[in-house]
Chains A and B, each alone.
Chain A
């Protein structure tokens, strides 16, 4: 009943639905990149170097004559993959830490929450760069590092939910019936704390995509020739005086993607709790 009501509210929120449509469209584009892209993204054509947008190459070509549109479509794969995996890791750690801290409380809670405070002291990008310096830049390390440095928000969320749920009657009743700690956490507390986690995960994908593209832009993320929106913009910066299209279109792709995840996330938040709408 409550679920379907929330769905109806989400359905009526035009902005959130357009966000959802864009997210689905992007996933489809990433999956169907081979059929959608007009050219091979790695095909080098030295006779077509730095061509401005034209009917043949809708978004122009880069310094090696590769089709920018095709590279943007293939770049969606990197962005979405990094977004999903990094958020998966962050959510897993965040839920675990938050659940332990919120359920057991006491000294464990103190230690874990101080750890959260500590992690929040470092500008995330500094911490990420330091780890990348040690592990080396590639897509797998990027996903792991983004995940390992962005779980703190989820941990705080889950902990707060657990603290308020812990003393509720249905939990006390389940405990009185002899349910184990693990069963209480998994079957009774966690399902009731999942909705805010869902919202933060959706917004988290947007955040992870932003971080990945910044790292790739700095040359410390996904390495060329694999196309990622971030490393395409590096080429844009190097040719900023002669080829504006290299600086504009990949960035637009990032903006639209991040915005659609944000719209969807905010939409889910409002659908779950209409009071948040001011």
Chain B
């Protein structure tokens, strides 16, 4: 287990370097430099100021020197200051939003697990039944549904037509004056639609995968043996089959993280939620390069971390690795 874990950790180092390199190159290989763009948008900046900016970002240095300097600062979580008028440090901006994005994604991940796993198991158990066909249809819709359209439909139905739920922001006006339970329900009402939306988007893939994995395991000899020795079907499915079928699903969950976090941009933009996705959207609109680079590095790092956690869970769940 320790060997397995340390191998995974060591693998992260080149990946981290790669992530920073890709983030760096995406911004710097473009025609023109960030400072040029910054000053063209602000014609009042003098030649003098332009020169100062160029020196500040070290843009007169060769590319590899720039990368190395930037990397040294990134390792201290110093992504520089935002180009926006407030000129705040990028890390401060990201830090105050990271919790919102992670929290919402965690909630939808929990919902995905709570719904998709039973759905997949039941569909596999009753393969080719009406229930199976129904979930297949649902999955097909899930794959073809544009996430932002789903968000719009949810808004239209629950927010406008039924008028049950708020459609914008994370809290109501005057939130700070509410009591604890009022705050709780206010927050809950605001996150319901975005979380349900992003959970639905992830549901399709995970339940489909669970079904496939379960079907494969049910076809194995040891399941036939378990049935032959007279174990109740419930025990066969949930004890013998499910445990083994879950293993590959853990890996898939790790792989589905980028998609889930990527969906944050859409859902946060639509529901006006102050998270990292909204920050990226704004930064791209305003061409705020330090923020964009910071976001890229942090999000890829979070994905790597998620994959590491999935590997860890896999190691704990698989006795061959846990004991070996």
**A contacts, CB < 8 Å to B:** 114-115, 117-127, 129-135, 206, 210, 213-214, 217-220, 230, 233, 236-237, 240-241, 244, 247-248, 251, 254-255, 258-259, 262-263, 278
Q: A130 contacts B296, CB within 8 Å?
A: yes
Whole-angstrom distance between the Cβ of B258 and the nearest chain A Cβ = 4
Contact A119 to B22, CB < 8 A, known contacts A206-B144, A218-B266, A259-B140: yes
Identity of the chain B residue whose Cβ is nearest the Cβ of A257 in the assembled complex: B144
Q: A123 contacts B299, CB within 8 Å?
A: yes
Q: A122 contacts B22, CB within 8 Å?
A: yes
Contact A129 to B281, CB < 8 A, known contacts A214-B146, A251-B146, A255-B149: yes
Q: A134 contacts B22, CB within 8 Å?
A: no
Which of B113-121, B237-245, B282-290 makes up part of the contact surface? B282-290
Whole-angstrom distance between the Cβ of A76 and the nearest chain B Cβ = 15
- Cα–Cα distance between A135 and B80 once the two chains are bound (Å): 22
Q: A114 contacts B215, CB within 8 Å?
A: no
Interface centre among A125, A251, A254 (most CB of B within 10 A): A125
Which residues from A are CB-within-8-Å of B147? 214
When A and B form their complex, what is the total count of cross-chain residue pairs whose Cβ atoms lie within 8 Å? 141
Q: Can you list the 7 inter-chain pairs with the closest CB atoms, starting with the nearest?
A: A123-B262, A251-B149, A134-B30, A259-B144, A123-B258, A125-B262, A258-B144
Q: A124 contacts B258, CB within 8 Å?
A: yes
Q: B156 contacts A247, CB within 8 Å?
A: yes
Indicate if B90 sits at the interface (CB-CB under 8 A).
no
What bracket does the count of chain B residues touching chain A fall in? 35 or more
Q: A123 contacts B261, CB within 8 Å?
A: yes
Q: B265 contacts A127, CB within 8 Å?
A: no
Indicate if B65 sits at the interface (CB-CB under 8 A).
no
Contact A217 to B148, CB < 8 A, known contacts A125-B265, A133-B283, A237-B270: yes
B284 in complex: contacting residue of A115, A129, A244, A255, CB < 8 Å: A129
A247 in complex: contacting residue of B141, B145, B153, B296, CB < 8 Å: B153
Indicate if B160 sits at the interface (CB-CB under 8 A).
yes
- Cα–Cα distance between A124 and B299 once the two chains are bound (Å): 11
B152 in complex: contacting residue of A125, A236, A241, A278, CB < 8 Å: A236
Indicate if B49 sits at the interface (CB-CB under 8 A).
no
Which residues from B are CB-within-8-Å of A244? 156, 160
Which residues from B are CB-within-8-Å of A129? 265, 280-281, 284, 292
Whole-angstrom distance between the Cβ of B281 and the nearest chain A Cβ = 6
Which residues from A are CB-within-8-Å of B146? 210, 213-214, 251, 254-255, 258
Binary interface encoding of chain B residues 124-139 relative to chain A, with 1 for a CB under 8 A from any of its CBs, else 0 = 0001000000000000
Whole-angstrom distance between the Cβ of B285 and the nearest chain A Cβ = 7
Contact A130 to B140, CB < 8 A, known contacts A122-B296, A258-B146: no
Q: B287 contacts A133, CB within 8 Å?
A: yes
- Cα–Cα distance between A126 and B145 once the two chains are bound (Å): 20
- Cα–Cα distance between A143 and B285 once the two chains are bound (Å): 19
**B contacts, CB < 8 Å to A:** 14-15, 18-19, 22-23, 26-27, 30, 127, 140-141, 143-149, 152-153, 155-156, 159-160, 167, 212, 215, 255, 258-259, 261-263, 265-266, 269-270, 280-281, 283-285, 287, 289, 292-293, 295-296, 299-300, 303-304, 307
Which residues from A are CB-within-8-Å of B140? 259, 262-263
Interface centre among A118, A134, A230 (most CB of B within 10 A): A134
Which residues from B are CB-within-8-Å of A213? 146, 148
Which residues from A are CB-within-8-Å of B153? 247-248, 251
- Cα–Cα distance between A135 and B22 once the two chains are bound (Å): 16
Whole-angstrom distance between the Cβ of A179 and the nearest chain B Cβ = 36
Whole-angstrom distance between the Cβ of A134 and the nearest chain B Cβ = 4
Q: B26 contacts A134, CB within 8 Å?
A: yes
Interface centre among B160, B284, B304 (most CB of A within 10 A): B284
Which residues from B are CB-within-8-Å of A115? 18
Identity of the chain B residue whose Cβ is nearest the Cβ of A203 in the assembled complex: B143
B266 in complex: contacting residue of A118, A120, A127, A214, CB < 8 Å: A214
A233 in complex: contacting residue of B19, B152, B287, CB < 8 Å: B152
Q: B285 contacts A120, CB within 8 Å?
A: no
Interface centre among A122, A210, A248, A255 (most CB of B within 10 A): A122
- Cα–Cα distance between A117 and B295 once the two chains are bound (Å): 19
Q: A122 contacts B299, CB within 8 Å?
A: yes
- Not counting A134-B27, A218-B265, A233-B152, a sample of 20 additional A-B residue pairs whose C-beta atoms are within 8 angstroms of each other reads A114-B14, A114-B18, A121-B304, A123-B258, A123-B303, A126-B299, A129-B292, A130-B26, A130-B295, A133-B292, A210-B146, A220-B284, A233-B149, A240-B156, A241-B160, A247-B155, A254-B146, A255-B146, A255-B149, A262-B144
Which residues from B are CB-within-8-Å of A218? 148, 265-266, 269, 281
Whole-angstrom distance between the Cβ of A216 and the nearest chain B Cβ = 10
- Cα–Cα distance between A178 and B78 once the two chains are bound (Å): 57
Identity of the chain A residue whose Cβ is nearest the Cβ of B19 in the assembled complex: A121
Interface centre among B127, B143, B148 (most CB of A within 10 A): B148
Whole-angstrom distance between the Cβ of B34 and the nearest chain A Cβ = 9
Interface pairs (22), CB distance under 8 Å = A115-B18, A118-B19, A121-B300, A122-B258, A123-B261, A125-B265, A126-B280, A130-B293, A130-B296, A131-B26, A133-B289, A217-B148, A218-B265, A218-B281, A241-B160, A248-B153, A251-B146, A251-B149, A255-B145, A259-B140, A262-B143, A278-B127
